[in-house]
Structures are given as structure tokens and as C-alpha cells.
Structure 1
Amino acid sequence: MDLSAFPRVALGSWPTPLDDAPRLTAALGGAPVLLKRDDVNGLGAGGNKLRKLEFLLGRALEDGADTIITFGALQTNHGRQTAAACAKLGLRCELVLTARVPMSGDSYEHSGNIVLDHMFGANVHVCADADETAAVYEKVNHAKAATLPIGGSNGLGTLGYVAAAAELLGQLGERGIDNATLVVPDGSGATAAGIALGTELLGWPGEVRAVSVSHTAADALQTLEILTTDAAGLLGEPAPRLAHVTVTDDTVGPGYGVPTPEMWDVLKLFAETEGVLLDPVYTGKAAVKLREIAATSEVPVVFLHTGGLPGFYGYAPEAVARFGSA
């Protein structure tokens, strides 16, 4: 897979580590678990969006953009990492955020990612509904602005995780692991899509388990198919078959960003066995599925840690109630 034809800016520290998790493995009592640490890739408190932004902002700069506009919920990790990348590259950043999420309260609305958005110099616009979002976008958009989709998830952004798939399979090969199950959080879709497409193009014999944290499995699969097809087209490849990919939605709980007891349990499990922190929105809910998969798997299981820790502080009252005392 030659990605050199696509404009790209350097934002992350690659390759990210692939770590053994022996105490977590022992606690789960099943297959060996490894952690792909895309949460520790440097810029803007780390996270999976940086791989997408390398391609998205590379294209924007080549097109002469001086402003980046993107969207998300109040605690968007994509918004925070976009703001940090824009700060590094000297670009104006306009974050058009929606307050229409199933979470509220002072911590959720005024801490975590949204504080970092301001620290990175972004102009943050909090909108009450779709009409206000459209009006704000119309106001901030101009001829030299580039607009990025929610989560950086389009065909071009997906290439970031096509590259990551090659990186990960190389690391597994160095360990002599030629078959495994890859567990990937699935939100806006491009992370799981890139892993799915990259592993198929490279002939990987293992399985990809995309764990939806927001949509039904059917909707998430449809998005996955669109993104992989678009990215394959950019590479001059046919639409992938995705026969090795399974999408699930049974750990979403009441809704996107809404904590579940199982999610809090698995956050504690990762913390007390490996000293690794997950977030309540993406990695926490995906790790609930990892716990189930690893307990019965006959091959090693790799968990893609996509970051999101700053968003944890938006859930401070719930975390304090759960873990703040003995």
C-alpha cells in the first residue's frame, strides 16, 4: 500500500507501542491480550484522530487553507486534537459543537476536552440545535476554510488507519503472531474502517471486531462499508469484501456517552491491572466487549486504545461517586 501520493503532515509519534498486558490477561483468564497504544502518540494529549488529521490537514494545506472548521459533541476528542494540530501548524480552528447530547452538568459542559479546546486557541461555538449549527457554520466558513467531517471520518481520513493497520501487523509479525483478533472502538467510523481495509488489503488472516459506541450495528456496518469503499477507491482498489469484520452494538448501553456499570468496571480493571486509563465514551465501552472476547478466544487479542482520557474529566462526579472512597 503506497500512500506517498497523498499530502500528509507529521503530527504523531509513530509507531505507537504495542504492549503486552500480562496482568489483564491473567484477570480475564483467556487468550493473551496486547494493547496498541494510540493514546500515547504525543500531540494534543494523544488519540486516534491524529492519524486521520495527518491526511486531512495535509490536503487542506495543499489546497491553501488557513482555517479549519469541524464539528462534534461538547466533549469531542476529534475537536480537541484538531485544535492542537491547528495550533502546531498555525491554522485558525473553528469548532462548531452541539449541546444536544444525553449528558449535562457543570463538569461535562465546562471541563475535560472543552477546556483544552480553548487552551489550544480554537474558537469554540456551542450550538443548541441543528439550525444554530448551520447558521454558525455559514458565518465562519469562507473561501480559504477547509471543512472536516465529524471524527475526521471520510475516505481520506480512513487512510490514516490503513497506514496504522500496516504498522500494527508489522509489530505483530515481529512477535511471531500471524493470527489475532483486533478489537477496535467504532464511533464515527474511520478508525475501524481503516483497520478493516488495511488488514484485508494486506491479506491478514485474523478477525476485526468493530465495537460500536453510538450507533446500531446495522448503521455502523453501513458506515464502515461506505468509508472502506471510498478509501479503497482513493487507493485504486475495488470495494473490500470485509468478510473478516464483525460489528456489534451490545455494549452501547442507554446511548452515546452515557456511562454503564459494566464500563466503570472495565475502567477499574484496566487501571488496577496495567495502570492504563480508558475513557467512558469510546475505549471503556469497547473494552467491555474485549473482556468478553478475550475470555474465550483461541488466538491473541489486540485492543486498539484510541485515547480520549481528557474526556474522562467531564464525568468527574460519576467517577468520584464510583471510585472516590474505599
Structure 2
Amino acid sequence: MSAKHSLSTWLTPMEPMPRLAVALGLNGDELWVKRDDLIGLGGGGNKVRKLEWTVGDALATGADTLVTTGAAQSNHARLTAAAGARLGMNVVLVFPGTADSAAGGSGNLVLDSLFGASVFWSGETDPATMGAVAEDVCEQLRKRGARPYLIPFGGSSPLGARGYVEAGDEIRMQVPDVEHVVVALGSGGTMAGLIGALGEERVLGVDCGAVTEPADVVAALSTQVTGRNVTAASLRIRLDQVGPGYGVLHEPVMEAMSTTARAEGIVLDPTYSGRAMAGLMAAVREGEIRPNQRTVFLHTGGLPGLFGHAQTVQRSVAALNSITFR
């Protein structure tokens, strides 16, 4: 039985969003936000809950180096680097592309560097091949005398998902009558863990385009987490917010980010939490989420990645209000 290694302070806050609720057409006391963006380690975000379990397993196996994969602006990679720094472990991040492609990099890349992580630029751009590349990196590290531990993409595995079974239990304690929990669906482990605690009927995942068959991925993870047969058909997943593709700014996402920031002073990111909020807004418009139903939005973090997202930065600066006085 793998042991969890604590990396933050729990519970995370549950805050009301009355102005946003009214703006969306809900009653003012019906929309809440679970602030996993305020998790303390490494700039915050949902991946810390998964890392408590995967890093705990790494320590139990005697590893001295953490290896993981992701996009160059990966929140999971940034938090893996932070966890390694806290525990005195080396961290190798396996990213697609080349070092030249990250020239002038900002956002999460800055924090990866500050936390002391090393980057292996694979040259590959196909996400399907990144796991094999990471396995090869681990083999090369072993030849150098290191003891690597490979954490899967997004930290999503049955082990990592235990962190979000715990989060689901927190949500039930904080909002006992919750009917909808809305969450970004990336690598699938966060949604699967929530299903383990709350069931399929209460969890609405908003696909962000990170994996090609999100329903199948979540169903497989949920089956392992729950110990029962969870089918893709039983899941609540919105596929309408991917837009042009993973990591590309989608107009409803920009609107969701702006509306949330101006109504509640809460910042979302364009890749994950912004898409989840856009999906929540669409669900309200279409009647999937209705007044008199208590709804929780899970804020998965990602603020550093916003500053590394050129489209969002440019759009936001261009829209900045200017005034002059004579």
C-alpha cells in the first residue's frame, strides 16, 4: 500500500461566487468555487494532490530523481519540479520540441528553472510518443547511477487519482447538497478521482483537448479507482470547449476568463480552468445546470501558465481600458 507524502495544508477553501452566479442566471447562493489554485506548493494547482501519492510511492521505492512529461507550459511539470525541490530530489522534465522553441520562454518555464529542474527536449511533437521518450530518459539516468521514478503525464494514474477522491470527500463535507461539480478534463485523473467520491452523475468534465479519447481515458481510470465498471457512456463530459485545439485560445474561453475576473476577481487560465468555466457557462445556457441546483466549480490553478500564453497576454493588454484627463 503506497503511503501519501504531505505537500500542502488541507482543506482548501470553498468560496461563494454570488455575482458570477447572478450573471449566469443562477441564484446568488448556488455557485461555489473550490480553491485548489490556493494549494501552497510551487504556485498552486490540482496536481499537488496527485503528487502527494506518486511522490510518496517514489520515496518508498528509494528513488532520487523524478521524471515526468508534459507541454512546455505544463502545470504538472512545474509542480513536480517544486515537489522535487522540497524533498531534495532531482527532477527531469521531458518536453516536446527544442530549446530554441522555448527561447524567451516565460510562465511555468521560469518557475521550472527556479526550482532547479532539468529539461530534456525530445524534438518530438506527438504526445503519443512522449511516454516512450520518458522511459528512454529513465534508462539513460539509470546508466548514470540515478534512481529515477517516472510520473505519468499529468500525474494521472489510479494512484494519483486518490488525491481527488480525497478532494471529493472535502467537497461533500463543505457543500453537502452539491448537485454538480464542474472540472477541467485534461489527463483524466482529477475527474476520475472525483467520480470515486461523488459518482458519475454529479461530476461534469469539460474536455480541454489534452488526450484524444477523453471519455475512454476517464472511464478506465474511474473503473480502477472505484473497483466497479464505469463506462464511457455513463460519464458527463462536454466536448464543445476544445476549439482549435489544446492550448489554443478559444473565444468562449476568453469570455469566461474575463467574466469571472470582473465578477469575482478570480483569475483562470486559458488551457484548463478557463475552458472549464466556459463549459459551466454553456451548461447553464443549455439547462444542464439550472437554478436551485448547488454547483461547485473546481479551480485547478494554472496562473503561471497564463503569463506564458502569448495569445491571452496580447488580447488582455489590447483590451486594457485607458483614460486621459485634460
TM over 0.5, shorter chain: yes
Deviates more, 1:182-191 or 1:290-299: 290-299
Q: Deviations 1:210-252 (Å, cap 9, x if unpaired)?
A: 1110157x811100111112223xxxx3334688630121100
Q: 1:287 to 1:255 in 2, by over 3 A?
A: same
Aligned to 1:180: 179
Aligned to 1:140: 141
Equivalent runs, 1:4-153 vs 2, <5 Å: 5-31=1-27, 32-99=30-97, 110-129=105-124, 130=129, 133=133, 136-141=137-142, 144-153=147-156
Tell me, yes or no, if the aligned pair for 2:219 and 2:235 is still in contact at 8 Å. no
SS at match of 2:63: coil
Tell me, yes or no, if the aligned pair for 1:215 and 1:249 is still in contact at 8 Å. no
Q: Deviations 1:61-120 (Å, cap 9, x if unpaired)?
A: 0111111111111101000000001100111111111139xxx7756xx10001100100
Q: Aligned letter for 1:53?
A: L
Please report how far the alpha carbon of residue 196 of structure 1 lies from its aligned counterpart in structure 2 after TM superposition.
1.0
Please report how far the alpha carbon of residue 144 of structure 1 lies from its aligned counterpart in structure 2 after TM superposition.
1.7
Tell me, yes or no, if the aligned pair for 1:283 and 1:305 is still in contact at 8 Å. yes
Aligned partner of 1:220 among 214, 227, 231: 214
Percent identical pairs in the alignment equals 39
Q: Aligned letter for 1:189?
A: G
Deviates more, 1:15-24 or 1:297-306: 297-306
Tell me, yes or no, if the aligned pair for 1:229 and 1:238 is still in contact at 8 Å. yes
Q: For 1:115 and 1:309, how far apart are their aligned partners in 2? A: 13
Aligned to 2:202: 207
Deviates more, 1:160-169 or 1:241-250: 241-250
Aligned partner of 1:293 among 265, 283, 296: 283
Q: For 1:112 and 1:321, how far apart are their aligned partners in 2? A: 16
Q: For 1:115 and 1:165, how far apart are their aligned partners in 2? A: 32
Q: For 2:233 and 2:32, how far apart are their aligned partners in 1? A: 23
Aligned partner of 1:251 among 229, 235, 241: 241
Q: Deviations 1:243-272 (Å, cap 9, x if unpaired)?
A: 863012110001000001111111111111
Aligned to 2:197: 198
Q: 1:215 to 1:94 in 2, by over 3 A?
A: closer
Q: Deviations 1:132-160 (Å, cap 9, x if unpaired)?
A: 93554442346621111000011101111
**Structure 2-normalised TM-score?**
0.86
Q: Does residue 314 of the first structure (1) align with residue 308 of the second (2)? A: yes
**Structure 1-normalised TM-score?**
0.86
Q: 1:91 to 1:105 in 2, by over 3 A?
A: closer
Q: For 1:168 and 1:157, how far apart are their aligned partners in 2? A: 18
Q: For 1:11 and 1:97, how far apart are their aligned partners in 2? A: 24
Aligned to 1:283: 273
Q: Aligned letter for 2:314?
A: V
Gapped runs of 5+ residues in structure 2?
322-326
Please report how far the alpha carbon of residue 37 of structure 1 lies from its aligned counterpart in structure 2 after TM superposition.
0.6
SS at match of 1:73: coil
Q: For 2:246 and 2:232, how far apart are their aligned partners in 1? A: 25
Q: For 1:242 and 1:121, how far apart are their aligned partners in 2? A: 40
Q: For 1:285 and 1:40, how far apart are their aligned partners in 2? A: 19
Deviates more, 1:206-215 or 1:267-276: 206-215
Q: For 2:258 and 2:116, how far apart are their aligned partners in 1? A: 33
Q: For 2:82 and 2:219, how far apart are their aligned partners in 1? A: 30
SS at match of 2:70: strand
Q: For 2:160 and 2:14, how far apart are their aligned partners in 1? A: 22
SS at match of 2:69: strand
Aligned partner of 2:158 among 137, 140, 155: 155
Aligned residues: 304
Alpha-carbon RMSD across the aligned residues, in angstroms, is 2.3
Deviates more, 1:128-137 or 1:270-279: 128-137
SS at match of 1:70: strand
Q: Aligned letter for 1:273?
A: A
Aligned partner of 1:262 among 210, 232, 252: 252
Please report how far the alpha carbon of residue 292 of structure 1 lies from its aligned counterpart in structure 2 after TM superposition.
1.9
Gapped runs of 5+ residues in structure 1?
none
Q: Aligned letter for 1:92?
A: N
Aligned partner of 2:262 among 272, 286, 289: 272
Tell me, yes or no, if the aligned pair for 1:208 and 1:244 is still in contact at 8 Å. no
Deviates more, 1:115-124 or 1:142-151: 142-151
